[in-house]
Structure 1
Amino acid sequence: MISPALAHIPTPLAPGRLPAHVPLAVQTRDGLVESVHHGSVIATAADGRTLLTAGQPLAPFYPRSALKPLQAVAMVRAGLDLPDELLALAAASHSGAAAHRYGALRILELHGLTPDDLENNTDLPYGVREREEWLSGGGQATQLAQNCSGKHAAMAATCVINGWPVLGYLDPAHPLQRLVARTVADLTGEEPERTSTDGCGTPLFALTLRGMARAFGRLASATGPASAEAAVASAMRRHPEMVAGEGRDVTALIRLVPGLLAKDGFEGVQLVGLPDGRAIAVKISDGGDRARMPVTVRVLAALDVDTSPLARIAAAPVLGGGRPAGLLQAADFLASLETSNAPNAR
């Protein structure tokens, strides 16, 4: 008999409703497998062709903050005109450093707004060092410190530019969010399977890895002064420290691979676009943040991108007593694909 205290717990999903993820990353300790991260991945060409897949890349998922560059494109299309460092911040999940907090405040002030106009939740800085410094100075959770404040400041600014109400700018029926929804559909080539709400309060769309890869390929390969996609991509490349922060792997990835565009998202999401239009989308099924980058670097190598500068983020040492005892690294999921696609494979 089920305890009354557990009666409110939903019935578990049937196995047939779970995405068919595969092992993508593995942690070993002294030669023994300690942990396995499953997930799905896709790499696409500029023309949309699939270059490689693993798992179930057509299963709907929530891209979370990987949507921010697409949301920024929508705002630029609607007339948002910011200096590059502030446009990069509009597409950021920032660490909450002073430059990030003051940048969000500057976006507001440029458009006659104040932090009271923000509708995101309050939080402490996301970065560990930034959070410790903030707390040591007596800081508390605020909307400016929250890692999506750049996006929210830009959204409020876009409302001012277009004469839309700032109050309620997160409502899916608001003109801003209707524009964002149309832009996301345009860039991904998909209509959302469903819509939810992200952690910071913005509408969140369920899409596929293929659709998100298509969008990042478009952003990364866009050119021309009239292109909103090119404006956002250029700003992110020029100011990767605003996209994430010092010590963050996404900032390092953009810096170390010329022309690359990258954005992460909560629950194990990583998107990458290359200047020739190829793109990579990764979803780690357990939401584990640590597995994103080893898998991404493995796929970049498979696409013949020089990953030698990425050794520090391609794998992570596992320590025992302060000394290396193992490794977190990508599983050999591409070799299994090659085997399954071989002419004599069964």
Structure 2
Amino acid sequence: MLAKHEPLVVATRGDAVESIHYGSAVLLDANGEVRASYGEPQAAYYPRSALKPLFAVGMLRAGLELDDQQLALASASHSGAPIHQQVAASTLKAAGLDATALGNSTDLPYGVAERQAYVAQGGTATQLAQNCSGKHAALVALSELKGWDTANYLHDERLLQMLQDTVEELTGEKISGVSTDGCGTPVYLISLVGLARGFARLASAKAGTPEARVAKAMSTHPELVAGEGRDVTALMRALPRAVAKDGFEGIQAVALPDGTALAVKIADGGDRARMPITIKLLTEFLGEAAPAALAELATSPALGGGAPVGVLKAL
């Protein structure tokens, strides 16, 4: 059954609305109460890569030791810059492994500038360059630690059960479906309310817990969670100690240190519409406390002849 989405973001050109992005969104306050809601946030969606920080919590709970950079990259959809690939390689090396142990799909770097530089230097599609290599390096390192099947870690029931149990515990709901993400790991159907709740658990966790360690690593190293020029990195820099993660097909989750959290799903999967509605929810909730830097992420211009003639903005 199709979710009952609402118009969230429009693209204008001149005086006309040229395009409309529908979607669903929810913002929970520090007590977990719904403060803003659009569309059908209780419906089930695939959070895609927004699940990575929750997976990282599960890996820490299972005994994997990672430093903050490695932990941030395990939670990342990175741009494939040299530092990203180096940190992923360091996770593997610490476990006595190398890039041949990775089971994710191959790709060129996700970031435009990173891809251009990489190709100019003769780089080809590899598993290490692919944007999920930090997560996969951590997963196979955990499998090595546990004595599980590293050659088949993406299908090891012990690892898969740990990931599912962690997602269900952090989100406070049972998953309603399972599929496979683009990189090969499982992806679970959960509601936007559950996703926001899971991120709130990370951002507001007691210091020293696995949840707090993931949140600290991400907020301390936002450049590893995405990359230079990426909106998720810019958002975390604008909101110190916030935890933010995007996911393919129009997913965005954000949580603040007090446990306020939001989750967004753009119905058509349009990536450009994630941030305008996210910033609207944050700025309306924060009011005068909203950092000015958030405004830079709220809109983007539509160009005509190289000059602005319209705008992408939240309704």
TM-score (normalizing by structure 1): 0.89
Aligned length: 313
Alignment match, 1:311: 295
Q: Secondary structure at the match of 1:303?
A: helix
Structure 1 counterpart of 2:23, from 27, 32, 39: 39
- After superposition, the C-alpha distances for 1:148-203 in whole angstroms (9 at most, x for unaligned) are 000000001111222222121111x5211211110100000111111000000001
Q: Secondary structure at the match of 1:56?
A: coil
Structure 2 counterpart of 1:195, from 168, 178, 184: 178
Gaps of 5+ in 1: 1-16, 332-346
| CA distance, structure 2, for counterparts of residue 223 and residue 92 of structure 1 | 22
- After superposition, the C-alpha distances for 1:67-89 in whole angstroms (9 at most, x for unaligned) are 00000000010111111111100
C-alpha contact 2:215 2:241 (8 A) present in aligned 1: no
The one-letter amino acid of 2:236's match is: I
Alignment match, 1:162: 146
Alignment match, 1:108: 92
Correspondences of 1:50-61 after superposition (within 5 Å): 50-61=34-45
Which has the greater radius of gyration? 1
Gaps of 5+ in 2: none
Query: Are 1:175 and 2:135 matched, yes or no?
Result: no
Deviation at 1:205, TM superposition (A): 0.3
RMSD: 0.9
C-alpha contact 2:8 2:314 (8 A) present in aligned 1: yes
Query: Are 1:277 and 2:232 matched, yes or no?
Result: no
Structure 1 counterpart of 2:268, from 275, 283, 286: 286
Alignment match, 1:262: 244
Alignment match, 2:204: 221
C-alpha contact 1:92 1:243 (8 A) present in aligned 2: yes
Query: Are 1:119 and 2:109 matched, yes or no?
Result: no
Task: After the TM superposition, list the runs of 4 or more consecutive aligned residues in structure 1 that deviate by more than 2 angstroms.
Answer: 45-48
- After superposition, the C-alpha distances for 1:14-68 in whole angstroms (9 at most, x for unaligned) are xxx2111000000101110001000000011233211110000011110000000
Alignment match, 1:97: 81
The one-letter amino acid of 2:207's match is: G
Query: Are 1:29 and 2:13 matched, yes or no?
Result: yes
C-alpha contact 1:297 1:307 (8 A) present in aligned 2: no
Q: Secondary structure at the match of 1:113?
A: coil
- After superposition, the C-alpha distances for 1:94-132 in whole angstroms (9 at most, x for unaligned) are 000000011111110111011111110000100000000
Structure 1 counterpart of 2:132, from 148, 151, 160: 148
C-alpha contact 1:300 1:307 (8 A) present in aligned 2: no
Correspondences of 1:3-18 after superposition (within 5 Å): 17-18=1-2
| CA distance, structure 1, for counterparts of residue 311 and residue 177 of structure 2 | 38
Deviation at 1:307, TM superposition (A): 4.0
Structure 2 counterpart of 1:247, from 229, 243, 249: 229
Alignment match, 1:20: 4
Q: Secondary structure at the match of 1:82?
A: coil
